[in-house]
Amino acid sequence: MKMTIDDLAAMSPCADGLAFARKCGSLKRAWATCREPSWLFWFAQRTKIIDKPQAIELAVAFAERVLPLYERKYPDDLRPRKALEAAKKWLKAPTEENRTAAASADACAATAYAVADAANADDAAYAAAKNEEKKWQCDKIREVLGNPFLPRRKVSESDIRPA
């Protein structure tokens, strides 16, 4: 992807995200070093480098990490767990029937995060844990999406091996 920081600025990002990109000096470096998952998601959606299965895969991965906190606070509320199960089912078989059930995965992730934030707001160690979680999320986004600023290697016939 050929894009400059001025191109990013024209997309009206948040002031902090744009300042971070400017400080990095290039979008390639900003993507590789970002520790704010919401910025990476915003960029991925605005530039259409993320597709629905990738977005659902990431929402599931993020929500699964905080689901135990949610279930500790609300042990009788099975909705987030059921939404995650439905999203996983859709990822394996993206049928229309499974799509409806999976539609709540993003809401599930947001709800679980809100509860996790509320449950841990008074914890002195929470800030450090939150920063580690954000780092993990950014690394996961980069794992799933790669770096859009690196050239993609073309697959040749010699790369394809018979089974």
Query: What does the pLDDT look like over 15-65, one tens digit per residue?
Result: 999 999 999 999 999 999 999 999 999 999 999 999 988 988 888 888 888
pLDDT at residue 1 in the model = 85
- Tokens representing 66? 């905080």
What pLDDT score was predicted for residue 159? Answer: 46
pLDDT at 140 over 90: yes
Cα separation of 148 and 71, whole Å? 36
Per the prediction, the chain carries an average pLDDT of 81
Q: What percent of the chain has pLDDT over 90?
A: 37
Question: Is pLDDT above 90 for 74?
Answer: no
Buried b (16+ CB within 10 A) or exposed e, 88-112: bebbeeeeeebeeebebbbebbebb
Residues 6+ apart with CB under 8 A from 49: 1, 43, 145, 148
* Separation between Cα atoms, residue 69 and residue 115, nearest integer Å: 8
CB atoms within 10 A of CB 34: 21
Which comes out higher in pLDDT, residue 146 or 67? 146
**DSSP H helices in the chain:** 5-10, 15-24, 27-33, 37-46, 52-73, 79-92, 96-102, 105-120, 126-145
- pTM of this structure: 0.77
